[in-house]
A and B are shown apart, each in its own frame.
Chain A
Amino acid sequence: MTAPIIVTLTVNGEPVSQAVEPRLTLVDFLREAIGLKGTHVGCEHGVCGACTLRLDGVTVRGCLTLAVQCEGATVETIEGMTESGAMKDLQDEFVERNALQCGYCTPGMLMSAAELLERNAMPSREEIREQLSGNYCRCTGYQAIVDAIETTARKRGALGR
């Protein structure tokens, strides 16, 4: 353990400045220091994807990133993405298709899915499954999640988005 370091960053559009222990992970920082509980912890190991969020526009694992590495960075979480409406259609489709049961994997799943749809507007089912291969879900069996993402892509295509 070493002395706390001040880190200044933007979280969901809000400036944040806090003293943190160098060992504190970004996901723990968000959950404990900022009170943003939407990003979850499943393995603290980079494997399950429950902590998936955006750092400077890139999808990362919140449990493999240290808060002190985020000096000057922009972080977006499920809460920010919800508020901006950036993936409202995707979220609605998850609910409609029952692509979530316990919901613990869902914020991370949605962050991964949103990234895929930005990169590839009309992914095949195989490509969707491939993209989700770093997101563990114990409840759904994945098919409903794949359906929801595929339907969102199709609807966006029809709207010319």
Chain B
Amino acid sequence: MNDRSAMSVLDKPNSYIGRSVPRPNAKRLAQGRATYVDDIVLPRMVHLAFCRSPYAHAEILSIDSTAALALPGVLRVVTMADLQDYCTPWVGVLDHLKGIKSAPQWPLANGKAFFQGEPIVAVAATSRAIAEDAVDLIEVDYKELPPVTDMETALDPDTPVIHPELGDNLCFERSIDSGDVDAAFAEAAVVVEETFHFNRHTGVTLEPRSIICDYNPADETLTLHMSVQCPHMSKNLYAKHLGLDEDKVRVICKDVGGSFGLKIHTYSDEMAAGALTVMLGRPVKFIADRLESFTTDIHARDHRVTAKMAFTQDGEITAVEMDDITGIGPYSVYPRTSGIEMNQVANLTAGPYKHLNYRVRARVVFQNKGVMCQYRGVGHPIAVAVGEALIDKGAAALGMDPAEVRRRSFIPDDAYPYTSPSGAIYERQSHRQSLDKLVAVMDYEALRREQRVLRERGIYRGIGFASLIEVTNPSPAFYGVGGARIASQDGCTIRLDPTGGITCATGVTEQGQGTETIIAQIAASAVGVAPGQVRVITGDTDVVPYGGGTWASRGAGIGGEAALQAGKELRRNILEVAGAILQSAPESLDIRDGEIVDAKSGNERMPLAELGRLVYFRGDTLPEGLQPELVATKHYVSRSYPFAFTNAAHACLLEVDVETGLVKLLKYWVVEDCGTVINPLLVAEQTRGGVVQGIGAALYEECLYSPEGQMINGSMADYLLPMAAEMPEIFVDHVTTPTETSELGAKGVGEAGTAGAPGAVMNAINDALGPLDARLSHMPFTPDKILRALGKT
């Protein structure tokens, strides 16, 4: 399947793959000339605001909207009763997650509210300010119901069942029992055990969720302007639940102000905007404010994991056993479900290591808090932190260096392809090489010496490692096999224009990671032009090939391969036409820098613009019988492996002030292997941004809830985020193990930074505090928790 031959565009001297090309579309953003959804103004557009439940669990007894309706500028005030005929409910389950269950979710609460912030009444008005004024005038009578907030007791027999029709509060459960776990633990030289808490946190994209729904009753078309990662998926879902013809729904997604997995889910308020545009026959805009973002955007993590690991005397890992429980709010989120994060934890914990004995029990439970679902890293940060912390603990018990224990336990380089005890299949990884490079670039030995010297002076520095694997380039195994209409294939249509320019439309999407740039680099290399000659179109379902968009780190690996194959096809087509015109064999010609040249001599034969002119305007002059085809479309789906796993080695250096409990991050290193690097600049920046989100989870971010299920820090002043002054400099380097599943050889890189950082930071803090016999495993590691661990408060 892989024809990485001598003629591969990857090896051509004029290839742009592997070059740090800046992003042409960034100029627009740097000049304040972007188009985010909130920047769009349509004629007769109305604005939505919502009356939301102040309670985590309540029955809605009555709603009085009289005063709201009377407010000048208010056009419509609706409850779920009014939307019954406009929208069907949805249930977040997938067939391949055996036994997963959830309750129907509606655009507005249908009799009961199950979390604080759940929308109850929608107001459409001529401005957002008027809509908000009207919301203040709505009177809702609630009967409070007992909230279920603690995930640990959610399954207790005396805990109320949130959705009585489901029978209990269990959404999904999975267990793995592979090898002989009991025997391995019985024979182990060292066994370490720990309980970890992974804080519930959220995406906090700077641009909030944003949508304009524009229904035209005359031709029954619906146009959605959305800040979204997967336009085709949205097209399907809005058509399905609003009862429209899917072929008449168009999703347009221009600039997106951050997404990180947050903008791939179905949200009630956005679907309500869809129902209202159909009802009103005019455009309806909804832009979440920051409080709405904090309480109703998907949250992530919220896991408690108890795990143990067995080692031989030589420091080899032989077994892992763990119990994971996670609270996901009152619904499994549609259409990807809230079972996937736990599934990843179960699949991937201690993934880089060769142990064969593995037991997992993992449970996903309902609770009356905000909904939890896939956010950057999905399960990986938990799986990595648990495995890596236990290794460090084991290394300490064995009196061995933590890097050395990792080296001894990695899956051997010659064992690939390798099937893990959870059933994951790894193609090829470079753990040893990555860790060795990491240890060299950070000058590990020198840091250890410095650490010892400083300790004598009462300065506590810590070094933490995290080796990881990451799922990228998903096949249909992720969602498609479960019945979700979420494309894992993607396509690219590429065209030679009469000017000699190239236009390229791709199903993968841009949120600032640089998708359009790498597609241009690949297409340019494949055809034989400069990237500046390639214009890339993304984010419009009427224009681009059907595709999955951006999720699970698939843009470069899947979308990139489609672009490569489409570019090669166009190149063949162009050379065929050029050969006929120039009376030369197509194989004797090449395209370099926008010119048809003699492959051997490099002599110019004809510019692409001239070929374009002849083909498009002077078909009469072409050789007889020639029907030129200057458009090519190719699609790609990953077939030979369900996923392409990447790997990376992280290290964090920090200092803990044992008087104040403050952590100062001093430096961070990443050696990552995402296969073929298309653009080193963009790979490094994806990694840095990802690491900082992981640091946020480890040190600052937490959605704090009262026992009644009220989020008590739903503002950016109260919810702490990583800011410039506290962040370290992050060094990024590469090892390159291309995936053999595609000619391009690229794997994903968007999430690996976030996957590794929480574990590396945790290990560094515990390394710093080791001499003081203090240890932490409850994220985020706030000064208060550190002082408590030190016995100082």
Contacts and interface: CB of A to CB of B under 8 A. Distances in A.
Interface in A20-51: 21, 23, 31, 35-48, 50
Contacts of A78: 31-32
Given A98-B681, A138-B205, A141-B691, A103 B26 contact: yes
Interface in A74-92: 77-79, 82, 91
A47 B31 contact: no
Contact of B725 (A40, A133, A141): A133
B41 to A, nearest CB: 8
A135 B259 CA distance: 18
Contacts of B23: 95, 98
Interface in B401-451: none
A95 B22 contact: yes
Contact of A102 (B35, B204, B512): B512
A141 B31 CA distance: 21
B33 A106 contact: no
A145 B32 contact: no
Instruction: State the majority secondary structure of interface residues on A.
Output: loop
Contact of A100 (B29, B205, B690): B29
Nearest to B753: A141
A67 interface: no
A78 B681 CA distance: 26
A44 B129 CA distance: 13
B36 A104 contact: yes
Contact of B257 (A35, A40, A98): A40
Contacts of B255: 102-103
Contacts of A107: 32
Nearest to B688: A141
Contacts of A129: 724-725, 727
Interface in A83-133: 91, 94-98, 100-107, 110, 126, 128-130, 132-133
Contacts of A140: 685, 688-689, 692
Given A102-B511, A138-B260, A47 B691 contact: no
A146 B30 contact: no
A145 B689 contact: no
Contacts of A141: 685, 688-692, 722, 727, 730
B33 A38 contact: yes
B512 A95 contact: no
B756 interface: no
B26 A94 contact: yes
Contacts of A100: 26, 29-30, 512
A101 B689 contact: yes
A54 B30 CA distance: 17
Contacts of B22: 95-98
B133 A130 contact: no
B137 to A, nearest CB: 12
Contact of B685 (A23, A36, A96, A144): A144
Contacts of A132: 723-725
Contact of A91 (B31, B34, B727): B31
A110 B34 CA distance: 15
Given A1-B133, A95-B27, A105 B681 contact: no
A118 to B, nearest CB: 18
A110 B31 CA distance: 9
A135 B725 CA distance: 10
Nearest to A82: B31
B32 A38 contact: yes
Interface string B201-223: 00111111000000000000000
Given A38-B31, A43-B716, A102-B207, A146 B258 contact: no
B79 interface: no
A98 B30 contact: no
Interface in B678-704: 681-682, 685, 688-693
Contacts of B30: 91, 94-95, 100, 103, 106, 110
Contacts of B259: 102
Instruction: State the majority secondary structure of interface residues on B.
Output: loop
Given A38-B32, A42-B290, A129-B727, A138 B685 contact: no
A147 B203 CA distance: 25
B306 interface: no
A57 B127 CA distance: 31
A137 interface: yes
B726 to A, nearest CB: 8
A47 B204 CA distance: 13
A133 B723 contact: yes
A78 B30 CA distance: 9
Contacts of B691: 141
A94 B32 CA distance: 13
Given A110-B30, A130-B725, A139 B258 contact: yes
Contacts of A39: 32
Contacts of B258: 101-102, 104, 138-139
A146 B728 CA distance: 11
B729 interface: yes
Given A43-B290, A45-B290, A98-B23, A104 B257 contact: yes
B256 interface: yes
B153 interface: no
Contacts of A77: 32
A101 B206 contact: no
Contacts of B721: 136, 138
Nearest to B204: A138
A147 B57 CA distance: 48
A75 B689 CA distance: 32
Contacts of B722: 141
A143 interface: yes
Interface in B10-37: 22-23, 26-36
B524 to A, nearest CB: 18
Contacts of A79: 31-33
A91 B513 CA distance: 18
A118 B681 CA distance: 29
Contacts of A37: 32, 35-36, 38-39
B46 to A, nearest CB: 14
Contacts of B688: 140-141, 143-144
B512 A101 contact: yes
B289 A44 contact: yes
B513 to A, nearest CB: 6
B61 interface: no
B514 interface: yes
Contacts of B689: 101, 138-141
A44 B714 CA distance: 13
Contacts of A144: 685, 688
A82 B27 CA distance: 11
Contacts of B692: 140-142
Contacts of B513: 101
Nearest to B721: A136
Nearest to B287: A41
Nearest to A102: B512
Which among B27, B206, B289 has the highest number of chain A CB atoms within 10 Å?
B206
Nearest to A111: B32
Nearest to B289: A44
Contacts of A139: 258, 512, 689
B685 A103 contact: no
A102 B204 CA distance: 13
Contact of A50 (B28, B206, B693): B206
B490 to A, nearest CB: 21
A55 B229 CA distance: 36
Given A42-B290, A44-B290, A78-B31, 5 more contacts: A40-B207, A103-B255, A128-B724, A139-B258, A141-B727
13 contacts: A40-B207, A42-B716, A43-B290, A43-B716, A45-B716, A100-B30, A103-B26, A133-B725, A136-B721, A136-B723, A138-B204, A138-B205, A138-B721
Interface of A: 1, 21, 23, 31, 35-48, 50, 77-79, 82, 91, 94-98, 100-107, 110, 126, 128-130, 132-133, 135-146
Which 8 A-B pairs have CB atoms at the shortest separation, nearest pair first? A38-B32, A103-B29, A101-B512, A104-B257, A78-B32, A102-B512, A141-B692, A141-B688
